[in-house]
Amino acid sequence: MVDRVAIAEEAGKYLFKIDQWFASSKTCSTCGELRDDMPLHIRKWACKNCHANHDRDVNAANNIKYQGLKMLMAAGLSVSAY
């Protein structure tokens, strides 16, 4: 098995694993509101709390990015603006 953490460290990078059950698709990346359900056929949706419109995949990607940034900051690592 490849040790991806070691490979990342050798390259001066960090690798954090996000829980596979993290609700990235059904959490609003604008306000954090969590929907009760999100069937796979729903590709675009509006948050009932802040009314932000989301593409399901873009919203999930933003939530995963923010989760990774939170993990970096919690580990005391610097976070680039990019």
Q: For residue 63, what is the enclosing H or E element?
A: helix 56-74
The β-bridge partners of 44 are 55
Asked whether the CA dihedral 35, 36, 42, 48 is positive or negative, the reply is: negative
Is the confidence at residue 80, as pLDDT, over 80?
no
Q: How many CB atoms lie within 10 A of CB 28?
A: 21
Is the confidence at residue 78, as pLDDT, over 80?
no
pTM of the model: 0.83
Q: What is the pLDDT of residues 14-55, one digit of tens each?
A: 888 999 999 999 999 999 999 999 999 999 999 999 999 999
Is the confidence at residue 82, as pLDDT, over 70?
no
CA-atom Rg of the chain in angstroms: 15
Is the confidence at residue 72, as pLDDT, over 80?
yes
